[in-house]
Structure 1
């Protein structure tokens, strides 16, 4: 093809004006023809072949069209690479430079096509694999892309310098320390991604809490270097992947899979209101059907105990009696056992904690039968609404520190007593 001249083209195409062109004109005409052929090849591939192929491919879901679009750039590059030597009167160094640049471009386009193929493979895996959420491969795909573009960079450099890639690779040994320093985070993230995936520590959709990084919400993306968490206020927290291995975090997946969410909250009972119940008060509490079994069992138990004491001639102060706090605790337990929206197959406790200066904590420990946040809060609120409202029926009060209204009432009563006239001693 190097022997093709403007005279040959003029005779073949019947263009006599080409016979009298100077050498630089012949070179320009040759370049114009070459780039015209490259443009035609690019047009045919993109606007004819790809358009026909698009009709036969599915329109929903991942498609290989982005891969074909990247490979379409290779066609004009190949035309230029093979035809540049046929352009007359081009200097040899310029031909070599253009050939090297085109060869580097072909390497780049092929690398981009392979990158799109890896992206397509990840999309197909996420769409069709049953365990895609628990075992994402996005981190591995990103690692392959890093290796792909690193290799492509070496080949592009070798093509531009018209040297063997082995010459560039031989110099990388001396740069190993620099490479390790540059890719330190990538290496740490790779190890962390392998551990997270192999141990099933994290999945897309998991609710995690990591207070050290102000993260509390759902995992929306797991990549090689970062994990994205959408917090409950809709902000996004980006966590370095290796921090999930070096630091601790809480994963609420176990709660979601169990089907129940824990309620652990205490009522602060005013200790001054705790006392024994009188016979009339016990009789009044029999109105609550949830206490029937408790009061009957307690009456039999205490009756036997006190009868033995009486038989031994003990002082009545040693007798056992029913307390209002114990009866209320039994009522709360029976109420929770009868609640239709609590998980009865999970732990359910009503217990007293250590008394404090703020009262006696009576803690409710149980699990709702749902993990939906709004439903959970409603169930929990309904339970404590009922407990707070029914507490006076058991002659108990909730401890509450004095507020402004209490202080004003206290001062008002003190002022009223001081303002009352002193009548002096009575006869």
Structure 2
């Protein structure tokens, strides 16, 4: 195909030979218009092909191909084909020397168009894989990012080779000398890639896991495991981007085991006033047994392998343990107990240790709170008091009631 009609049209206007470049300009504009038309037609054909071919395809493949922009980038090949075919037609005679640099430009553009298509294809794989049930346990985000990085590096090498008119192998032969520099530049990338492979292989962390690293202010859910960083949303809704290799080089706590087990540990202490601990009389023991155990004191002592004399602290500890064992929201198959801890200045801690059936935070806290609230409320039935710090006024009032010197009390 040639553009003789352009010359004839210019001749009719009476400017033939007066401006040789005008022929080239008009012809180039026509080619550019043709490139745009070819792009629009290619987009139209591809869109209709998508509707026909992918109408019965699985949803994950349809969504991944459409949302990744794969077909849109494929349409960019049409203008390149048009320009490549018209370069030897447009640039002739006085402009023949332009063909070589223009072919170089087209070659570079073609290289990056193909690179963009391949990166879009990588996005297709990533999006489609995200629909799989394995995506949470074994994320491939890091692998996809490495693939994109390799594609970009290859595109850079090919671009330089095209501009220098050299073979890519010629450039790669001197690539070893730059290895040390590249190791420094891509240190975090390489370390992140190795860490990502180890995390995925050993299944140390996955998307949706609750992890905790107190030294780095991380306490929340993993949103994304990338090549360089791990995105974590803390419970206060802040976002933390953590270098991937830190999860390999430093220890962290993964709470996913708790979620998978279906039991969340409760470990709270009731602080009991030491002065309220005493031996129960037979009448008091009988009253407690009938009220809280629905049986006689002798039967209760025999059932729990206890004998007189028995303290109110012992009776309350056994009562709390039985309450945990019979609680509907406590896991019976997991460890549960009540135990006395080392006495402190704040009283004797009676530790409640059990696993709630609910792992979701609000439900878990509700179960834990209801258990503690009930035990606090019945503590007085056993003659026990919860330890509480007194302020100066309370201490002075208590001393006055016990017969200490009171300046406001009249002398007898």
Task: Name the TM-score, length of structure 2 as normaliser.
Answer: 0.90
| 1:29 aligned residue (26, 29, 40) | 26
Aligned pair in 2 of structure 1 residues 28, 170: CA closer, same or farther (>3 Å)? Answer: same
Q: Which residue of 2 aligns with 1:370?
A: 358
* Structure 1 unmatched runs, 5+: 304-319
CA contact (8 A) 1:276 1:324 kept: yes
What CA deviation, in whole Å up to 9, does each residue of 1:83-135 have, x standing for no partner? 112113453443211110111001100100100000011111111x2211101
CA contact (8 A) 1:81 1:103 kept: no
| 1:380 aligned residue (368, 371, 390) | 368
Q: Which residue of 2 aligns with 1:313?
A: none
Give the C-alpha shift of residue 299 in structure 1: 5.8
Secondary structure of the residue aligned to 2:112 is helix
Secondary structure of the residue aligned to 1:117 is helix
What CA deviation, in whole Å up to 9, does each residue of 1:217-258 have, x standing for no partner? 111111111111111111111111000001111111110011
Q: Which residue of 1 aligns with 2:411?
A: 422
1:95 and 2:95 correspond: no
* Structure 2 unmatched runs, 5+: none
Please give the alpha-carbon distance, in whole angstroms, between the structure 1 residues aligned to 2:291 and 2:359. Answer: 31
Q: Which residue of 2 aligns with 1:210?
A: 213
Please give the alpha-carbon distance, in whole angstroms, between the structure 2 residues aligned to 1:186 and 1:102. Answer: 32
Give the C-alpha shift of residue 168 in structure 1: 2.1
Q: Which residue of 1 aligns with 2:65?
A: 63
Please give the alpha-carbon distance, in whole angstroms, between the structure 2 residues aligned to 1:213 and 1:401. Answer: 35
The aligned length equals 401
CA contact (8 A) 2:7 2:16 kept: no
Please give the alpha-carbon distance, in whole angstroms, between the structure 2 residues aligned to 1:280 and 1:142. Answer: 76
Aligned pair in 2 of structure 1 residues 5, 275: CA closer, same or farther (>3 Å)? Answer: closer
Runs of 4+ in 1 over 3 A off after TM superposition: 8-11, 13-19, 57-60, 88-93, 291-295, 299-303, 407-416
Task: Name the TM-score, length of structure 1 as normaliser.
Answer: 0.87
Deviates more, 1:168-177 or 1:220-229: 168-177
Aligned pair in 2 of structure 1 residues 410, 353: CA closer, same or farther (>3 Å)? Answer: closer
Please give the alpha-carbon distance, in whole angstroms, between the structure 2 residues aligned to 1:387 and 1:381. Answer: 10
1:282 and 2:278 correspond: no
Deviates more, 1:158-167 or 1:386-395: 158-167
Q: Which residue of 2 aligns with 1:396?
A: 384
Deviates more, 1:147-156 or 1:14-23: 14-23
Secondary structure of the residue aligned to 1:238 is strand
Please give the alpha-carbon distance, in whole angstroms, between the structure 1 residues aligned to 2:45 and 2:116. Answer: 20
1:340 and 2:306 correspond: no
Give the C-alpha shift of residue 330 in structure 1: 1.0
| 1:49 aligned residue (38, 41, 45) | 45
* Bigger CA radius of gyration: 1
1:326 and 2:328 correspond: no
Q: Which residue of 2 aligns with 1:124?
A: 128
Counterparts of 1:252-271 in structure 2, within 5 Å, are: 252-271=255-274
Aligned pair in 2 of structure 1 residues 422, 66: CA closer, same or farther (>3 Å)? Answer: closer
What CA deviation, in whole Å up to 9, does each residue of 1:129-165 have, x standing for no partner? 2211101111100000000000011111212222222
Please give the alpha-carbon distance, in whole angstroms, between the structure 2 residues aligned to 1:397 and 1:69. Answer: 74
Give the C-alpha shift of residue 364 in structure 1: 0.8
| 1:142 aligned residue (141, 145, 149) | 145
